[in-house]
């Protein structure tokens, strides 16, 4: 299953020699780019263990940040039809000095294009914008309005036509993963879900491992919240690392998990790559794993979010319901003003 195994003894920050022995290609300032990035290997897919998330990056900023990420050693770029930046990412990849075959590129189909025919046409448009076939194509969110067998059939079709190397899903629960697995003829290699120290994904992760699928952890920095976390920072202090680097390292040390932090600043993009020269101990891993509570989920939708498996949705649902109730009250008040 995963190629990433804790192969070092619990230790403090690693010395240069120790680092080079354990992770060839890793310098004491992050990944050197001299060797392929470490990968999570599932069903013939080799997914770089740390990637770059591009949601919210538009036009020239998207081009510049993706170019910068590739220059300093990222080998995994995450985009989606709904991010509106596939063309810019295609530009950055096409002019990069990094050979295309060394880059793992993921894109996602938005949920209003899940009918047979619509999905294929939308993927053809993505390929034109990206100017290359993605390595991985995901269904971005489940859509109960379109029969899953039809969508999975269309997903199989684009894979067979060579429009993508691998296929998978995103924001799928255990029940949905099992349903999708029972319908697909081509391997589903990934479920991309929100995962960070405040949200447990244990049941989903167990299901993925049992089916030789990888988890791609999105919002791995809890959208910046980890940087205000004193527990993570105190662990990081022992290694000269910040709280975000501790959160990313915690994900990196879990079998079958890859992470795709996002940033719009070069200094942050660089810092997020500097997680290879230290190793969290078992007790530190356990301490971070014990942090999730019922309010951890940051990405949800009352309209199309599924019935999640793990803790974390209570806070989100309450926030959403309160938001909807407040909006209705505001409208009614306006009507009678």
Ligand X SMILES: NC(=O)c1ccc[n+]([C@@H]2O[C@H](COP(=O)([O-])OP(=O)(O)OC[C@H]3O[C@@H](n4cnc5c(N)ncnc54)[C@H](OP(=O)(O)O)[C@@H]3O)[C@@H](O)[C@H]2O)c1
Q: Which residues are catalytic?
A: 83
Number of other CB atoms surrounding residue 208 within 10 Å: 26
Rounded distance between C-alpha atoms, residue 194 and residue 278, angstroms:
24
Q: Per-residue x/- mask for ligand X, residues 8 to 47, rule CB under 6 A?
A: ----------------------------------------
CB-wise, 245 or 253, nearer to ligand X? 245
- Assess 260 for contact with ligand X (CB under 6 A): yes
Residues whose CB is less than 8 angstroms from the CB of residue 281 and which lie 6 or more positions away in sequence, other chains included = 10
Contact 259, 51 (CB under 8 A): yes
Residue 121 DSSP class: H
Residues whose CB is less than 8 angstroms from the CB of residue 29 and which lie 6 or more positions away in sequence, other chains included = 274
Output the DSSP codes for 181-239: HHH-SSPEEEEEEE-BTTB--HHHHHHHHHTT-EEEEESTTGGGGGGG-HHHHHHHHTT
- Assess 168 for contact with ligand X (CB under 6 A): no
Counts of helices then strands in the chain (DSSP H, E): 12, 12
- Binds ligand X (CB under 6 A): choice among 156, 264, 281, 320: 264
- Binds ligand X (CB under 6 A): choice among 90, 134, 197, 261: 261
Classify the phi-psi angles of 187: left when phi > 0, otherwise alpha if psi is within -120 to 50, otherwise beta. beta
> At closest approach, how far in Å is the CB of 286 from ligand X?
22
- Binds ligand X (CB under 6 A): choice among 244, 256, 292, 305: 244
> At closest approach, how far in Å is the CB of 190 from ligand X?
10
CB-wise, 11 or 82, nearer to ligand X? 82
- Assess 268 for contact with ligand X (CB under 6 A): yes
- Assess 81 for contact with ligand X (CB under 6 A): no
- Assess 262 for contact with ligand X (CB under 6 A): yes
- Assess 189 for contact with ligand X (CB under 6 A): no
Contact 240, 282 (CB under 8 A): no
Rounded distance between C-alpha atoms, residue 62 and residue 213, angstroms:
29
Q: Per-residue x/- mask for ligand X, residues 294 to 323, rule CB under 6 A?
A: -----x------------------------
**Residue whose CB is nearest to ligand X in the complex, by number:** 53
- Binds ligand X (CB under 6 A): choice among 30, 134, 220, 256: 220
Tokens linked to 300 = 């949800």
- Assess 271 for contact with ligand X (CB under 6 A): yes
- Assess 218 for contact with ligand X (CB under 6 A): yes
- Would you tell me which residues interact with ligand X (CB under 6 A)? 53-55, 78, 140, 170-171, 192, 218-224, 227, 244, 260-265, 268, 271-272, 299
């Amino acid at each position: 299953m995963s190629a990433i195994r804790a192969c070092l003894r619990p230790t403090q920050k690693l010395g240069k020699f120790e680092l080079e022995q354990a992770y060839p290609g890793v310098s004491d300032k992050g990944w050197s780019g001299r060797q392929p990035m470490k990968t999570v290997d599932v069903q013939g897919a080799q997914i770089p263990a740390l990637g770059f998330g591009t949601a919210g990056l538009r036009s020239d900023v998207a081009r510049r940040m993706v170019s910068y990420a590739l220059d300093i050693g990222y080998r995994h770029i995450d985009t989606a039809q709904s991010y509106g930046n596939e063309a810019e990412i295609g530009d950055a990849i096409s002019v990069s000095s990094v050979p295309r075959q060394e880059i793992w590129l993921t894109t996602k189909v938005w949920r209003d294009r899940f009918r047979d025919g619509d999905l294929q046409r939308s993927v053809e448009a993505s390929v034109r914008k990206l100017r290359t076939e993605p390595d991985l194509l995901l269904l971005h969110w489940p859509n109960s309005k379109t029969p899953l067998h039809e969508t999975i059939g269309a997903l199989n079709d684009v894979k067979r036509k060579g429009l993508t190397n691998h296929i998978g899903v995103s924001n799928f629960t255990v029940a949905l993963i099992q349903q999708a697995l029972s319908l697909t003829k081509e391997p589903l290699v990934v479920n991309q879900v929100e995962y960070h120290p405040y949200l447990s994904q244990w049941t989903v992760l167990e299901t993925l491992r049992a089916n030789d699928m990888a988890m791609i952890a999105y919002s791995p920095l809890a959208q910046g919240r980890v940087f205000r976390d004193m527990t993570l920072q105190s662990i990081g202090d022992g290694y000269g690392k910040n709280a975000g680097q501790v959160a990313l390292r915690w994900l990196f040390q879990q079998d079958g998990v890859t992470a795709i932090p996002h940033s719009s600043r070069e200094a942050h993009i660089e810092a997020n790559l500097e997680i290879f020269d230290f190793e969290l101990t078992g007790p530190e891993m356990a301490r971070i794993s014990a942090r999730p509570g019922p309010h951890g989920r940051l990405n949800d939708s009352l309209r199309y979010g599924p019935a999640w498996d793990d803790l974390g949705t209570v806070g989100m649902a309450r926030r959403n319901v309160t938001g909807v109730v407040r909006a209705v009250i505001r409208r009614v008040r306006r009507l009678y003003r």
